[in-house]
Structure 1
Amino acid sequence: MNPPYSITTSILKAVATISEKIGEVNANFLTKQSPELRKQNRIQTIQASLGIEGNTLSTDQITAILENKRVLGPWKDIQEVMNAIAVYDRLSDYKPADEKSFLAAHKQLMAKLLPDAGAYRRQGVGIIKSGQVEHVAPPRRHIQRATNNLFV
């Protein structure tokens, strides 16, 4: 059985225009996160990613740092959070497929923590938990080749 109408070029154009407008509405109004939700996501992301590296600060402490309040805690942990906040503030400045941008982000992320921040490491590193070696990073001689593969 055929429908009681014909699909014409003008009907298809109207449907396409309506779909486009719906997409614009969704992109501009319905899918935007509230500023408070973005802030909470940022805080939780910083806490989780730095926690993997052994940072002990809580989400409340990170919130306080973000709000320029004083926080009691290990200097290194506080500096890591401040550096992460600075990187997040400049995230749109970094180019994902650019080595210079990658090293600039590393320099900001490791500012005041490493003497050679923003450069490839020159020694072996690993993660130790509870006196046990948890992870050993690839040897220094593989770093340049591995990162070159990221930027091709």
Structure 2
Amino acid sequence: MKKENLPPFKITNEILTLIYEIGELIGKISVTQEFEKNLILRRENRIKTIYSSLAIEQNTLTLEQVTDVINGKRVLAPLKDIKEVQNAYEIYERLDELNDNSVKDLLLAHKIMTSELIKENGKFRSKNAGVYQGEKLIHMGSMPAHIPELINNLFLWLKNSKEHPLIKAAVFHYEFEFIHPFQDGNGRIGRLWHTLILSKWKDFFGWLPIESLVQKYQKEYYTAINNSNRDGESTEFILFMLKIINETLIELIENQKMTDKMTDKMTDKNKKRIEVILKYLSQKNYIDNKEAQNLLDVSEATAKRFLNKLVKENILEAVGEYKARKYIKK
């Protein structure tokens, strides 16, 4: 934190425009239909969130492996990476229980996120720590003796600030990373808390895979942090996160339109069938006729007709010939 315990940043015209655009996008989202009722979509987005946040920190598991770990299946992978997934899933599932203004809950979240992974889990670090790019130190975290006061001041600002939640979430995220209060897990907890703050404003942010776009623009993410460190204020990082959220909401709306278009002309039975197929394809690269037959509990001919119908509807794409034919998402 900086002088007078107030984190420095500027509200630019570009930032104000993005806040307005995000507000407009939020107004277009049918939250009840997409997130309150569609449990499959919520679960898929949560898995994407966990996968992306861990991938940023060099976790080696694929999205399919992360899905398998969460579903309780055996995965051949480093035990550390598997434990990271299990821990992250546990704390994201408890997101609603956390108080975004509580230091105690922050420490609890860190304890769960880093359980069995580091010695100082659930505690502020006792030694110096920095952020490295290769062997080059690019940022030194705050001195251990100052961390409790700095974190308390940050939470006090978060509680009392009258800024827009989109601003508060980004500023907290940046300042948290600047302090770097933990031995490990700072990035994961910073992104978790960003999501938590936004979810207290609008519930559906708890299910949006914002981390997926952070992973996509990972280089720009770290550039925004480093440039904000250089500038001594979080303005550039705020702008970056607002752009990420804006793009996430645009993608959500486009996907919702596509889903509505796909299901408008379908019977209830076919809607359930396509939901099963798309859920399967969210975890696997392709589906074949035999797998569809088993999933839908239908005859071989019915499965084939249904898959080909989805191809005609431009939902799936057929690859290969005859018995070797596989179907992938468009």
Query: TM-score higher than 0.5 here?
Result: yes
C-alpha deviation, 1:141, in angstroms: 3.0
Assess if the C-alpha contact under 8 Å between 2:34 and 2:41 holds in 1.
no
Matched, 1:93 2:127: no
Assess if the C-alpha contact under 8 Å between 2:130 and 2:139 holds in 1.
yes
Q: Runs of 5+ in structure 1 lacking a partner? A: 1-25
Matched, 1:77 2:81: yes
Runs of 4 or more above 6 Å deviation:
none
Separation in 2, partners of 1:72, 1:126:
32
Assess if the C-alpha contact under 8 Å between 1:97 and 1:150 holds in 2.
no
Paired-residue identity, %: 37
Partner of 1:141: 145
Separation in 2, partners of 1:81, 1:122:
26
Matched, 1:44 2:44: no
Matched, 1:105 2:109: yes
Structure with bigger gyration radius: 1
Partner of 1:121: 125
C-alpha deviation, 1:36, in angstroms: 1.7
C-alpha deviation, 1:79, in angstroms: 0.7
C-alpha deviation, 1:134, in angstroms: 5.6
Assess if the C-alpha contact under 8 Å between 1:127 and 1:134 holds in 2.
yes
Q: Normalising by structure 2, what TM-score?
A: 0.35
Provide the aligned C-alpha RMSD in A.
Answer: 2.3
Specify the SS of the correspondent of 2:47: helix
Assess if the C-alpha contact under 8 Å between 2:129 and 2:140 holds in 1.
yes
Give deviations 1:14-58, integer Å, cap 9, x for gaps. xxxxxxxxxxxx664466362121112111111111122221111
With CA pairs under 8 Å and 6+ residues apart, which has the higher RCO, 1 or 2? 2
Specify the SS of the correspondent of 1:151: helix
C-alpha deviation, 1:114, in angstroms: 1.4
Matched, 1:53 2:57: yes
Separation in 2, partners of 1:40, 1:31:
11
Q: Runs of 5+ in structure 2 lacking a partner? A: 1-29, 157-330
